Structure 1
């Protein structure tokens, strides 16, 4: 009798445990690629979210390997395995739309973050205004060269929203300086190595005619710096800017080699996860990340907004040491 009662109690505990596990939201994060530091910081911030460290949600991060087809297949996996919500950082603004449509059709909310997808089926978006950052970095370059001379532009992957929108911002600033000529403009796919090779070629072609380098991210700006140093030229003879505020760029700003604009990966990632959990739990959730207190001009608003814009932070001599300390 006691043995039967023990078996019954154990079985009930197992059922209760299974029910509890099923109640825990299963969240997937499909990111375009994890080779570079920015998305590594973004992904680490997800894993450090209080809901993850506290065991309230099951989180899986998928590496899209910079391939839209890979991301599509990862969405299919998450749909088949009935994830409760998906965070999406797409490699391609158009190609990612089909994945969002499929998830929405399956009743799975998709939260966009960092890069955009051309779909009206997103449940919400958490990111930063790339047109603004493109304008800010180009304006820095143009101001430094006195609104005259020659520049080159290192673009992100063609077709990704950040490339499209940062270029729009670049061009907006360039339109204000009609005496500035763009000597070269080409994608280096967010890659430091690809940017270094391009810049080496451009220095061979144009020599010291290049006055400014507009890098649509820090990795590419840093690649340009390596090429300049490798050619035996002085970095100080060039105006160079990037975007993201990765660690090497912060050190380069401190050294006076370039300018950068911090894109807050932690705020984008943790804000997106708060929204994903909120949607997965049908609104029965209050945000746990401290980023909502940090950015008071980006209110939570009950998780009801379609878009949340994380502000940019220009990196300067005054704040670079504090930003570097946060990376320790």
Structure 2
């Protein structure tokens, strides 16, 4: 794509700034060994402070080692402007494929279009990119099905109805939009006795979920909810802490999460938490990286891959380990 002198200067400035950030704070990290130049495959995670994406990065590093490739890892720090700038800089540096977990599903559309026009393939993981001129190949779990699985558990466990609190993850992300949709669809199918008595975001953060849950339980102390559905596990940890601090037992207010991180699985085993949705971050990022390498080596267009999420409870806890072993 031809760019104006002003645009080119902006791009070069971004590259320079990105290099400074990498040197000062370690935002860029080469992982694995061999193969391509480090700039050929770039992976941008929306927020590497979240345990889910820490796990995904670990799986990425392992798969890169097996494939003999190098990747650059970028942390958008949950900032769409930074992620867009990072991706533009990656293109100038010579990236051939960008794998991105978007901070915001719509905000990345223009950046994806610009990368495509420059011949850079884009693959999204975990969260879709919405609104691009051409659909962006996506590797991820069916988040609607995951949200519905949570709601189905509620309907099955409370056949007479339940009061439900929903704590949502990052606003604007496809994962949040789709998980909320699945929860609403499932509870609506259960009937009018299944009521969402509070729905609020905690931005995927444990401390914010703690505060949100404390406020909810304070306002509803005499008529507490039956279930708290947290749309990621880090928030579920905060909700569990608030429930315990308010004097409620795990049987009185049941907490479900999403992601099946090790801490959540340990809480399920201990009986402190009811369930978590396993969406296999390892298989997501490994599949995306394989698609990226195939694109570089053969020119094959990356394909979308949809994974089926599994609700992990104490009854099928061993299944979480089996899923995580799928490479």
Instruction: Tell me if the contact between 1:92 and 1:161 (Cα under 8 Å) persists in the aligned partners.
Output: yes
Q: 2:261 aligns to what?
A: 246
SS of 2:241's equivalent in the other structure is: helix
- Deviation of the 1:306 alpha carbon: 3.6
SS of 1:30's equivalent in the other structure is: strand
State TM-score, norm by structure 1. 0.82
SS of 1:110's equivalent in the other structure is: strand
Q: 1:46 aligns to what?
A: 60
SS of 1:154's equivalent in the other structure is: strand
Instruction: Tell me if the contact between 1:109 and 1:122 (Cα under 8 Å) persists in the aligned partners.
Output: no
Correspondence 1:315 to 2:327: no
Correspondence 1:211 to 2:208: no
SS of 2:54's equivalent in the other structure is: helix
- Deviation of the 1:109 alpha carbon: 0.4
- Deviation of the 1:307 alpha carbon: 1.7
Q: 2:94 aligns to what?
A: 82
Rounded to whole Å, the distance in 2 between the matches of 1:180 and 1:104 is: 45
User: Structure 1 residues 76, 148: closer, same or farther in 2, change over 3 A?
Assistant: same
Rounded to whole Å, the distance in 2 between the matches of 1:53 and 1:120 is: 34
Q: Deviations over 1:236-255 (max 9, x none)?
A: 11232111100111011112
Q: 2:137 aligns to what?
A: 124
Matches within 5 A, 1:154-165: 154-165=167-178
- Deviation of the 1:145 alpha carbon: 2.4
Q: 1:199 aligns to what?
A: 213
| Aligned residue among 223, 244, 261 for 1:229 | 244
- Deviation of the 1:143 alpha carbon: 2.2
Instruction: Tell me if the contact between 1:243 and 1:260 (Cα under 8 Å) persists in the aligned partners.
Output: yes
Q: 1:269 aligns to what?
A: 285
- Deviation of the 1:266 alpha carbon: 0.5
Rounded to whole Å, the distance in 2 between the matches of 1:100 and 1:71 is: 11
- Deviation of the 1:204 alpha carbon: 0.4
Correspondence 1:184 to 2:181: no
Rounded to whole Å, the distance in 2 between the matches of 1:90 and 1:24 is: 21
SS of 1:48's equivalent in the other structure is: helix
Choose 1 or 2 for highest CA Rg.
1
| Aligned residue among 118, 127, 144 for 1:115 | 127
SS of 1:223's equivalent in the other structure is: helix
Instruction: Tell me if the contact between 1:123 and 1:306 (Cα under 8 Å) persists in the aligned partners.
Output: no
Q: Deviations over 1:237-294 (max 9, x none)?
A: 12321111001110111122221111101100000000011112234xxxxxxxxxxx
Rounded to whole Å, the distance in 1 between the matches of 2:38 and 2:47 is: 27
Rounded to whole Å, the distance in 1 between the matches of 2:67 and 2:124 is: 23
Correspondence 1:133 to 2:146: yes
Structure 1: gaps spanning 5 or more residues: 1-19, 284-302
Structure 2: gaps spanning 5 or more residues: 1-33
SS of 1:235's equivalent in the other structure is: coil
SS of 1:237's equivalent in the other structure is: coil
* Matched positions, count: 287
Q: 1:56 aligns to what?
A: 68
Q: Deviations over 1:109-161 (max 9, x none)?
A: 01111111112535521111100001001221232222413111101111100
